[in-house]
Structure 1
Amino acid sequence: MRMPLRVLMAEDEDLAAEVLQEVLEDAGFEVLLAPDGQAALELAAAGAGFDVLLTDLRMPRLDGRELILRLRAERPSLPVVVMTGFAPPEGPERLHDGSGPLRLLTKPIDLSGLVSALRAVAHEG
């Protein structure tokens, strides 16, 4: 039996985070929830194990772009799914450092598409 994928999710909107967590857990993922990028970075630094990062881009304290850079400094092949209502005009290339798989999803998030994207990047990484 395969272990469930562990997702570190950084999302600062409480209601969105609750809905996403429930959907992901129903789909068989384990979810570590962080209210912003700084909290996600602190969880990772404390040794929290996770397979893939799911992050919003615009968050207080530490945004998603900086979170990706800092986590990938330690884990260059970390799979990432970014969800945002404000996609960078230059697309995912602005977020991608070329080291690990990355998918960019725009809000409102298609929940089945999110589940598929998480599984896809986790198996590419």
Structure 2
Amino acid sequence: MSDRRHVLVAEDEALAAIAIEDFLSRKGYRVTLAGDGQEAVERLRDDPADIVITDLRMPRLDGRGLIRELRGMSPTLPVIVMTGYLTAESADDALTNGAWRPLEILRKPVSPQAILDTLERMLNGAA
């Protein structure tokens, strides 16, 4: 078992997912990719992660559904949501209420460095 932090990335845009995986791997993280929320849940059951990065709009199980599943599995698992579709109203909706914490929302397009900074802040805060 590796002592590197494990990041699960749920993203249906393959190029974006691979870019995040490449960047975080080079920064020393172990990264698992999932093409949608359902695949993410299956992967997490087999190999728990330290943090999840997810898109909101995905096939089969979207980001909101994935977060609901995650909260049932591990209520304190940190989650980073990346989306280009989030409005202020929907951010104030289900995603930001206390039951969904710890959670951060990053608006697409988001730089790999912004993802890394948020990830490290969340992991260090959770430690």
TM-score w.r.t. structure 1 length? 0.90
Q: Which residue of the partner structure matches residue 52 of structure 2? A: 53
Identical aligned pairs, as a percentage? 42
Separation (CA, whole Å) in 2 of partners of 1:120 and 1:93: 24
Query: Structure 1 96/30 Cα, relative in aligned 2: closer, same or farther at 3 Å?
Result: same
Aligned-partner residue type, residue 66 of structure 1: G
Task: Give every structure 1 segment of 4 or more consecutive aligned residues whose post-TM-superposition deviation is greater than 3 Å.
Answer: none
Q: Which runs of 5+ in 2 are unaligned?
A: none
Does the 8 Å contact 1:101/1:124 carry over to 2? Answer: no
Separation (CA, whole Å) in 2 of partners of 1:28 and 1:87: 30
Query: Structure 1 26/55 Cα, relative in aligned 2: closer, same or farther at 3 Å?
Result: same
Q: Of Structure 1 and Structure 2, which has the larger fraction of its residues in helix?
A: 2
Q: Which residue of the partner structure matches residue 71 of structure 2? A: 72
Deviation at 1:79, TM superposition (A): 0.3
TM-score w.r.t. structure 2 length? 0.88
Deviation at 1:93, TM superposition (A): 5.3
Per-residue CA distance 1:58-113 (angstroms, 9 max, x = gap): 00000001101111112110101010111143226531342431110011112111
Count how many residue pairs are aligned between Structure 1 and Structure 2: 123
Separation (CA, whole Å) in 2 of partners of 1:92 and 1:119: 24
Separation (CA, whole Å) in 1 of partners of 2:88 and 2:21: 28
Query: Structure 1 102/15 Cα, relative in aligned 2: closer, same or farther at 3 Å?
Result: same
Aligned-partner residue type, residue 82 of structure 2: M
Separation (CA, whole Å) in 2 of partners of 1:103 and 1:93: 14
Q: Which residue of the partner structure matches residue 42 of structure 1? A: 42
Q: 2:23 is paired with a residue of what secondary structure?
A: helix
Q: Which residue of the partner structure matches residue 20 of structure 1? A: 20
Q: State whether structure 2 residue 127 is matched by structure 1 residue 115.
A: no
Q: 1:95 is paired with a residue of what secondary structure?
A: helix
Q: Which residue of the partner structure matches residue 125 of structure 2? A: 124
Query: Structure 1 51/4 Cα, relative in aligned 2: closer, same or farther at 3 Å?
Result: same
Does the 8 Å contact 1:92/1:104 carry over to 2? Answer: no
Aligned-partner residue type, residue 108 of structure 1: P
Per-residue CA distance 1:21-40 (angstroms, 9 max, x = gap): 10111111110100110100
